[in-house]
């Protein structure tokens, strides 16, 4: 029986993880649930799964959650610091990190520091502070099991292989809803268009990142740290069917891939169950439904975020952290129709140019770079709005 802390339980990954848990009550027990502001769903989940503790990080929601659960033996905490404490509890075996964005970093570091196995969905954690996170994991001898489908695929391909035998990895990208489109089309797209992903149903932020290809850029950086790769060992190929979830090419030229229907429950279940494979009744892939698979080079010119992320990965230091912060802010603004689709890349690029470079940042440096990048991005968006109206 594994005792789980599910951070971000009300999100797309969190709710699917709870479906996996509900299907295997003999294997998993929920010890902790956390959410930011969706008090209604958090209360419902707590009543169903009876965790030892729930954390609602938005302090305004604390009284409501506390009152709703007062008759049950469930501890209720609030604020980001509570997250860092509960993940370290003796009674937690595995932490599923499914908070979105930089906000998930500190709880991942706290979990690793306490020696907990981390099932990692929160890719921004490795984008921001990959070096810090992985060196702490090494020090504490902690396993980080990827949940992101591409990284789960690579992780599965590497089972039984030696790290030094990797020649390169090839991350697959669906291409998102605007595959094949050019800037004259993209200039007019709104959040409602960009939220229509062809293959995956996900949270709003990652869905926009998939439309701009920033998601694949973040995943390149995530892969670099997870698998200890050099920048030139990471490639991206567009595979619009999202059936081959990524490839590893070895030093003898042999290539392994992992395949399956695009359903995040699969990599979530794999990460929670690892090293065991768990039987399930999810729909199976059939070749009868797919007469062809397509593979294309990504369009780095139109989808500039992919080129920007590659540049950030190559520059290293605090640059990926700065890029991530600017991206979080522009995506939020795009969702509120405050910035255009193509302008998002302009803002991120300008922020990256302006922030002071730090080659080996500390945690405090990352926090400062994140704050400064957000302020700068907000100013740039404000200015661009003034020049339009």
Closest-CA residue to 116 (of 129, 105, 107, 125): 107
Question: Minimum Å distance from CB 150 to Mg ion?
Answer: 5
Residue 115, token pair as written in the block: 């020696």
Which DSSP category does 102 fall into? G
- Identify the residue among 30, 65, 87, 98 touching ligand NAD (CB under 6 A): 98
* Minimum distance, C-beta of residue 99 to ligand NAD, in the bound complex (Å): 4
Q: Could you tell me the smallest distance in angstroms from the CB atom of residue 213 to Mg ion?
A: 12
Residue numbers 168-227 binding ligand NAD by CB under 6 A: 200, 202-203, 205-206
Q: Please identify which residue in 5, 12, 69, 332 interacts with ligand NAD, judged by CB under 6 A.
A: 12
Binding of residue 222 to Mg ion (CB under 5 A): no
Q: Which of 4, 8, 92, 351 binds ligand NAD (CB under 6 A)?
A: 8
Stretch of 95-103, 225-233, 284-292, 322-330 lying at the interface with ligand NAD (CB under 6 A):
95-103
**Per-residue x/- track, 252-281, ligand NAD (CB under 6 A):** ------------x-----------------
**Among candidate residues 284, 203, 263, 268, the one with its CA nearest the CA of residue 28:** 268
Buried b (16+ CB within 10 A) or exposed e, 134-144: beebeeeebeb
What is the nearest approach in angstroms of Mg ion to the Cβ of residue 258?
13
> What is the rounded distance in angstroms from the CA atom of residue 226 to the CA atom of residue 237?
19
Kindly tell me which of 142 and 213 has the beta carbon lying closer to Mg ion.
Answer: 213
Residues binding Mg ion: number (CB under 5 A): 3
Angle subtended at Cα 143 by Cα 138 and Cα 144, rounded to the nearest 5 degrees: 100
> What six digits make up the tokens of 234?
């990471």
Residue among 13, 76, 111, 321 that touches ligand NAD (CB under 6 A)? 13
Report if residue 99 touches ligand NAD, rule: CB under 6 A.
yes
275 neighbors 226 (Cβ within 8 angstroms): no
The three state secondary structure string of 257-299 is EEECCCCCHHHHHHHHHCCCCCCCCCCCCCHHHCCCCCCECCC
Separation of alpha carbons 31 and 49, rounded Å: 9
Which is closer to ligand NAD, CB of 14 or CB of 217?
Answer: 14
CB of 219 to Mg ion, least distance (A): 6
Q: Kindly state whether residue 148 participates in binding Mg ion, applying the rule CB under 5 A.
A: yes
Nearer to ligand NAD, 40 or 315 (CB): 40
Least distance (Å) between residue 13 CB and ligand NAD: 4
Exactly one of 10, 152, 246, 258 binds ligand NAD (CB under 6 A); that residue is 10
Would you say 234 and 253 are in contact if contact means Cβ atoms under 8 Å apart?
A: no
CB of 201 to Mg ion, least distance (A): 13
| Helical H segments across the chain, by residue range | 12-23, 39-49, 62-68, 80-86, 105-113, 123-139, 149-157, 183-186, 191-194, 204-212, 214-227, 265-273, 304-315, 319-335, 343-354, 363-388
And the tokens for 384?
């661009």
Provide the binding-site residues for ligand NAD, judged by CB under 6 A. 8-14, 35-36, 38, 57, 98-100, 103, 121-124, 148, 200, 202-203, 205-206, 264
Provide the binding-site residues for Mg ion, judged by CB under 5 A. 148-150
């Amino acid at each position: 029986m594994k005792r789980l802390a599910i951070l971000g339980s009300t999100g797309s990954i969190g709710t699917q993880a709870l479906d996996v848990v509900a299907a295997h009550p003999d294997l998993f027990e929920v010890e902790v649930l956390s959410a930011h502001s969706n008090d209604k769903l958090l209360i419902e989940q707590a009543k169903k799964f009876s965790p030892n503790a729930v954390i609602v990080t938005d302090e305004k929601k604390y009284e409501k959650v506390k009152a709703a659960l007062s008759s049950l033996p469930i501890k209720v905490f609030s604020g980001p610091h509570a997250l860092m404490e509960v993940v370290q509890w003796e009674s937690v075996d595995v932490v599923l990190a499914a908070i979105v964005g930089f906000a998930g970093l500190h709880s991942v570091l706290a979990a690793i520091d306490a020696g907990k196995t981390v099932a990692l969905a929160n890719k921004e954690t490795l984008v921001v502070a990959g070096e810090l996170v992985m060196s702490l994991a090494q020090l504490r001898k902690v396993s980080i099991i990827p949940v992101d489908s591409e990284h789960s695929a690579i992780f599965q391909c590497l089972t039984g292989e030696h790290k030094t035998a990797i020649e390169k990895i090839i991350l697959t990208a669906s291409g998102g809803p605007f595959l094949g489109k050019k800037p004259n089309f993209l200039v007019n797209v709104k959040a409602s268009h960009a939220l229509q992903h062809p293959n995956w149903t996900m949270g709003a932020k990652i869905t926009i990142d998939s439309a701009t290809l920033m998601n694949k850029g973040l995943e390149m950086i995530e892969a670099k740290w997870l698998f200890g790769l050099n920048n030139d060992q990471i490639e991206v190929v567009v595979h619009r069917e999202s059936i081959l979830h990524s490839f590893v090419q070895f030093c003898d030229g042999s290539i392994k891939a992992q395949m399956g229907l695009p359903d995040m429950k699969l990599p979530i279940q794999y990460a929670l169950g690892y090293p065991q494979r768990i039987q399930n009744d999810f729909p199976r892939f059939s070749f009868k439904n797919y007469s062809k698979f397509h593979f294309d080079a990504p369009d780095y010119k139109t989808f500039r975020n992919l080129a920007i992320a590659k540049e950030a990965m190559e520059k290293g230091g605090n640059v990926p952290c700065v890029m991530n912060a600017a991206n979080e802010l522009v995506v939020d603004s795009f969702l509120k129709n405050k910035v255009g689709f193509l302008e998002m890349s302009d803002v991120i690029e300008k922020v990256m140019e302006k922030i002071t470079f730090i080659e080996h940042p500390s945690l405090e440096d990352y926090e400062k770079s994140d704050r400064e990048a957000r302020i700068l991005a907000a100013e740039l968006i404000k200015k661009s709005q003034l020049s339009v109206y």
